[in-house]
Structure 1
Amino acid sequence: MKEKKFQFSYKVVADATGLAEADAALLQLARKTTKKAYAPYSKFNVACAAKLANGKTVVGSNQENASYPVGICAERALLATVGTQYTDEPILTLAVTYHSLNGDSSHPISPCGMCRQALSEYEKRSGTPIRLLLSGMEGPVYIISTIKDLLPLAFSEEDLG
């Protein structure tokens, strides 16, 4: 039996003031977009903003439904918009944030497993790493170079045989 190990490095800045101007603006747009979330059940508003290779910016927010499986996460809402309006356009940077109406929103969160899979497929499809900025409404920001770091054993078309 062989044991293998997976690890990755990421950067942490104390708050948005430690980011480059373009990254800080993208994160601020994502934070502003949390107001567009529809989360009456969880009270957990998630939003994201993406900077595309063509210079355009796209946003997404979570949209819940009383029948929970019908809802959609902010990241997949954004991917649907990018895929429809800017087919195959690479996403260079994706800022993900949240505002919890039930508590603290001061630490970074990460995309759920389903969103990691969807982001992984989009990253591969476009041939460009998606750089992630993960944060709350305040506090530290994690900077991750590629979605591959969050989903190292992603399922892909190669697995379909």
Structure 2
Amino acid sequence: MKEINLTTKISVYLLEECTETEKKLIDAAKQAAGNAYARYSGFKVGAALLLENGEVITGNNQENAAYPSGLCAERTAVFFANANYPDRKIVAIAIAACQNGKFTTEVVTPCGACRQVLLETENRYASPMKILMYSEKGIYVVYGIKSLLPLSFGDEMLKR
């Protein structure tokens, strides 16, 4: 039997250790979370994307009584950016979540579907993005979605 070990490097920051650009992106994600439509779960998530031209695009989760019809914050923002700015790559994304009017004390990471969309977006622009996952206790930062999705399925699989 052969064994494969996979490792992921995650940097952990306090908010005051972030750059001004990162702080603004996190603030935009937090504001977007406050505007989420989370009538059923009460779990509000916001995402803020930084495009290569410096523009910030936000999105938030949108729930629906038919649960599969809702959409996560990350995909809401990415799909908007890709539809309206198809020639602008995403260089960073910040994610923040709140419940009962308070931001989470633990980091919230993208779900599997969002990870797959982020992978496709990185592949589309041939460029990894910085991913900042906010919590009141600290911020996890990874460089590229493959850090969160190491055995990913991408277009290279379809060419076999």
Offset of 1:160 from its aligned partner? 2.2
Partner of 2:121: 122
* Residues 3-152 of structure 1 mapped to structure 2, 5 A cutoff: 3-14=3-14, 16-101=15-100, 105-136=104-135, 138-152=136-150
Once residues 21 and 124 of structure 1 are traced to their aligned partners in structure 2, the CA distance between those partners, rounded to angstroms, is 27
Shift of 1:157: 1.8
Check conservation: 1:88, 1:125, Cα contact below 8 A. no
TM-score norm. by structure 2 comes to 0.94
Identity of matched residues, % = 36
Equivalent pairs counted in the alignment come to: 159
Query: Unaligned 5+ residue runs, structure 1?
Result: none
Cα deviation 1:52-95 (Å, max 9, x = unaligned) = 11111100100000000000000000111011111042111100
Contact 1:43/1:102 (<8 A) preserved: no
Give me the TM-score of the superposition, normalised by structure 1: 0.94
Q: CA deviation at 1:118?
A: 0.6
Residue 49 of structure 2 aligns with an amino acid whose one-letter code is A
Aligned-partner residue type, residue 145 of structure 1? Y
Helix, strand or coil: the match of 2:12? strand
- Measured at CA, do residues 61 and 122 of structure 1 come closer, stay the same or move farther in structure 2, by a change above 3 Å? same
Stretches of structure 2 that go unaligned for 5 or more consecutive residues are none
1:158 aligned to 2:153? no
The list of structure 1 runs, each at least 4 consecutive aligned residues, that deviate by more than 4 angstroms after superposition, is none
Deviation at 1:158, TM superposition (A): 2.2
